[in-house]
Amino acid sequence: MTTATDLRVMDGNKAAAMGVLLCRPDLVASYPISPQTPLLEALYRASAEGRLDAETVEVEGENSALSAAIGAVAAGGRAFTATSSMGLMFMYDAYLFAAGQRVPVVMTVATREQTAPHTVSSGQQDIMMVKEGGWIQIVTESCQEILDSILVAYRLAEDPKIQLPVNVAYDGYYLSHLSEAVRVPEQAAVDRFLAPVGQGKRPVLSAAAPLTFGAFITGDLYTEYRYKHCQALQSALDLVDALDGEFLAAFGREYGGSVETYRAEDAEILMVGMGSHCGTLQVAVDALRAQGVSVGVARLRMFRPFPRARLAALMRGRKAVGVLDRSVCFGWGSGHLFVDVKAAAADLGGAIPMVNFIGGLAGADLRREMLERAVRATAARARGDQGPEVVWLNLE
Amino acid sequence: MQFHSPFEGAWADPETIHTILTGEWRLQRPVTREARCSHCGLCFLFCPNGCVRDRGRHFEADLDFCKGCGLCARVCPVAAVVMVEEEGA
C-alpha cells in the first residue's frame, strides 16, 4: 500500500524535475525558455552533483532538443525534454515525427501564451496548437500531480501497445513558479512502478540487429501506420484509467484517470475545465453549494486522446454544462475545450444548454468570484435564460 | 484488417524492407556503349542516386533505381553513355 514518502515544499518546475530524476532517464536535452527554465536548471544541477546518471546535451534550440531525445529513445534509452510556448512551436516538425514514428519521449510543457501579442505569461494556447500532433497530452492541476503524472507518462509512453510520446502540461507560473507541499515517492517504489516498461520492450536501433528507422512510406503501408497510431492513441484512455488504480496501490494517491470529478454525482450543473484554475473552481463550487446551487466539476486530465465516452456519460442528464477555456480556437470564436466538449455532448442526442467561458489568457486572473459568476451564468442557462455562447470572463 | 508490417511505426527489418523501385519513374534510360567506355568512373561518382554499378570493364546504371536524370551521359568524357527514350508501359 502506501510507501514511505518525503514531504517537501517545492514549485511545479522542481516537482517536475523530481519526477524526472525518479524515472532515471538516459538522456536529458532541452533549451531554456520561460517558464520551464528552472526545471532544466534543477536537472543540470542534479547531473553536475552526480544525482542524475544521464547524458545532458546542450543544444542550440528546441528542435535539436527534441531530436536528440528522439535519437536516444530510438537507440533504446529513456529520454526527457521540456519546453514552453514558442519553443514548442520551434520543435514542431520533430514533434510530429516523434508521434508518427512512435517514439516514446516524455516532454513537459510549462504552458504559456503564444506571441503575438508578445507575452511570456501563462495560458494554454501552446499545448492547443499541437493537440492534433498525435501525442498523448496530460494536463495537471497541482505540483504533486505534475510529479506523479511524469511517472505515469513513462508507463503510458513506453507501453508496448502504445509506444507514443507524452506531454505532461502544467500552467506556467501558476504551477511552475508557485510552491506547494509535494510528497516525493521512494526510488524503489518508482522503480517497481516502472518495471513493466523500459529497455527491450520495443524496437530499437542496434548495430547487432539492424533496423531501418523513419523510412519513406507510401499509400497502403502509410495508411496502416496511421491506423495503428490512431488505435494506440485511443487505447491510452483505458490504460490511463487502469494505471490510476495501480498508482493508488503503489503510492496512495489517485486522480480519476482521464477525468477527475468534484461533487459531480448529483450535480444539475457541470463545469468542465483543465488545469490549475480547477482548484479555484472547487472553492467556488463549495461556496455555491452552500447557497443551494447544485454544481459539480469534471476536470479533464487527459486532453489527447479525448475522453469522449467518459465525459459524455458525465454530462448525461445535466441541466447545463459550462466549459472553462484558457485558450482561443480561431475559426470557432470559442475556446478549444468547448469545441471538443460540444462534440462529446452530441453523442447524447439531446441538446444540453452549454456555455463557454474564456479567461485567464496571458496570466489574467481567474479569481474565485469570477468562477462563481461563471457557475451562476451556467445555472441561468439551465433555467432557460438566453445569452451569448461564449463569455469572455476578463472583459466583463 | 490486413496488415503488412509487424511494427507499430515506420521501422523495418532490412531483409524485408518495403523497397520503392525509383526506376519506375524514369522517362529516359542511360545505355552504356561498352566498347567506348574507358572505365574512368565519373558516372559512378556523379550519379545522384548512387545506382551506377561497376561491371569490371565498364559502368552501367542499375535500372531498378535509375531515375533517368541523364547526369551520367552529361559527364561522360568519351560519350559512352547515351540516353534512350523509354517506350511502352
Residue A369's alpha-carbon distances to A118, A357, A360, in angstroms, are: 28, 14, 13
- Using a CB–CB cutoff of 8 Å, tell me whether B15 touches chain A: no
- Using a CB–CB cutoff of 8 Å, tell me whether A70 touches chain B: no
Partner residue opposite B11 with nearest CB, options A213, A218, A227? A213
Residue carrying C-alpha cell 475545465: A273
Is the ipTM value over 0.85, yes or no? Answer: no
> What average pLDDT does chain A have?
96
At residue A262 the predicted structure's pLDDT band, cuts being 50, 70 and 90, is: very high
At residue A4 the predicted structure's pLDDT band, cuts being 50, 70 and 90, is: low
pLDDT (0 to 100) of residue A1: 42
Tell me if A217 and B4 make a contact (CB, 8 A cut-off).
no
CA separation for the pair A233, A304 (Å, rounded): 8
User: Which residues of chain B does A203 touch, with a Cβ-Cβ cutoff of 8 Å?
Assistant: 7, 11
In this predicted structure, which of A102-111, B10-19, B35-44 has the lowest mean pLDDT? Answer: B10-19
A372 contacts A316 by C-beta, under 8 angstroms: no
A327 contacts A386 by C-beta, under 8 angstroms: no
CA separation for the pair A218, A294 (Å, rounded): 54
Q: Which amino acid is at A175?
A: L
Going by C-alpha positions, the residue among A157, A223, A202, A214 that lies closest to residue B10 is A214
Tell me if A212 and B1 make a contact (CB, 8 A cut-off).
no
Going by C-alpha positions, the residue among A131, A86, A128 that lies closest to residue A329 is A128
pLDDT (0 to 100) of residue A2: 46
User: Which residues of chain B does A163 touch, with a Cβ-Cβ cutoff of 8 Å?
Assistant: 8-9
- Using a CB–CB cutoff of 8 Å, tell me whether A157 touches chain B: no
CA separation for the pair B18, B16 (Å, rounded): 6
A76 contacts A204 by C-beta, under 8 angstroms: yes
Instruction: At A291, list the grid cell.
Output: 447557497
Q: How much of chain A exceeds pLDDT 90, in percent?
A: 91
DSSP B42: H
In tens, the pLDDT along B42-56 reads 999 999 999 999 999
CA separation for the pair A366, B57 (Å, rounded): 80
**E-state strands within chain A:** 5-11, 27-30, 55-58, 79-83, 106-111, 136-139, 166-171, 179-185, 212-213, 259-262, 269-273, 295-300, 302-304, 320-325, 354-358, 390-392
In tens, the pLDDT along B8-21 reads 988 888 776 667 78
Going by C-alpha positions, the residue among A6, A5, A1, A363 that lies closest to residue A177 is A363
pTM of the complete model:
0.90
Query: Which residue is closest to B4 within chain A, CA to CA?
Result: A221
- Name the minimum distance, in Å, from the CA of A137 to any CA of chain B: 20
At residue A358 the predicted structure's pLDDT band, cuts being 50, 70 and 90, is: very high
- Name the minimum distance, in Å, from the CA of B60 to any CA of chain A: 26
User: Which residues of chain B does A202 touch, with a Cβ-Cβ cutoff of 8 Å?
Assistant: 8
CA separation for the pair A306, A236 (Å, rounded): 10
In tens, the pLDDT along A302-311 reads 999 999 999 9
- Summarize the confidence of residues A295-299 as an average pLDDT: 98
Which phi and psi angles does A92 have, rounded to 5°? -60, -45
Cα Rg, chain A, nearest whole Å? 21
A317 half-sphere exposure, CB direction, 13 A CA radius: 7
Going by C-alpha positions, the residue among A372, A305, A382, A314 that lies closest to residue A348 is A314
- Using a CB–CB cutoff of 8 Å, tell me whether B6 touches chain A: no
- Summarize the confidence of residues A19-34 as an average pLDDT: 97
Using the predicted structure, report yes or no on whether residue A50 has a pLDDT greater than 90: yes
Q: Which amino acid is at A350?
A: G
Choose between A148 and A220: higher pLDDT.
Answer: A148
Which positions ≥6 away from A233 have C-beta within 8 Å? A134, A136, A162, A164, A304, A305
CB count in 10 Å sphere of residue A99? 23
